[in-house]
Amino acid sequence: MTDQLEPLVFAFLEDHLKCQRGLRPASIRSYKESLRLFLQFATKDKHCRITCLKLADLTGERVRHFLQNLEQERGNGVRTRNQRLAALHTFFEYLAGVSPACSGKHSKWPPFPSNAGNRARLCISNATRLMLCSLPCPPSGSARPSLASLPL
């Protein structure tokens, strides 16, 4: 990685995720694995060594190809693919905040392919419906229950 990319990746993992956001080690490992997979894919896609990779090489188009690769070549499901996308989204948001060269560059993210987006929305709506149906109704005239009183 270049002098510019390597410290940004390190700062994202060690400072931003661990110190600023206070994520647990397992979560940090997940972010690290997502970045590792993406950077390896980017080096293969660009036909270069990882030491030659630059911020300009990390484009939305390359993210789209990476996501397709996860599903088609690696056989990952939609949930895993979306988890990797969320990690990359967080990384690019971090880059936009700390690196003036990145601000605005990665602001437009690739949309979910229609099949994955519909399945994800369906899962969320079904889960929300089930959760809402399982909540107890407060007696009429009483105050709303606090989060602590709701069943888990």
Whether 115 shows a pLDDT value over 50: the answer reads no
Closest CA to 85 of 57, 69, 66, 59: 66
The percent of residues in the chain predicted with pLDDT above 70, rounded, is 63
Whether 103 shows a pLDDT value over 80: the answer reads no
Q: If you search the block for the tokens 């949309």, which residue do you land on? A: 111
Top pLDDT among 97 and 24 is at: 24
Element (H, E) at 71: helix 60-72
**Alpha-carbon torsion (118, 120, 126, 132), positive or negative:** negative
Residues in Cβ contact with 111 at an 8 Å cutoff, skipping those fewer than 6 apart: 117
Residue 61, both tokens: 């188009």
Whether 76 shows a pLDDT value over 70: the answer reads yes
Whole-model pTM above 0.85?
no
CA distances from 54 to 7, 21, 76 (A): 12, 26, 27
Q: 145 near 136, Cβ under 8 Å?
A: yes
Class of domain 1-105: mainly alpha
**CA 96 from chain center: how many Å?**
15
Residues in Cβ contact with 63 at an 8 Å cutoff, skipping those fewer than 6 apart: 38, 85, 88, 109, 110
Top pLDDT among 111 and 51 is at: 51
Residue 62, both tokens: 């390359």
> What pLDDT, in 10s, does the model give residues 13-63?
999 999 999 999 999 999 999 999 999 999 999 999 988 888 888 888 999
* Average pLDDT, integer, range 127-136: 47
Q: According to the model, what pLDDT value does residue 110 have?
A: 45
Average pLDDT score over the chain:
76
Domain boundaries, the chain: 1-105
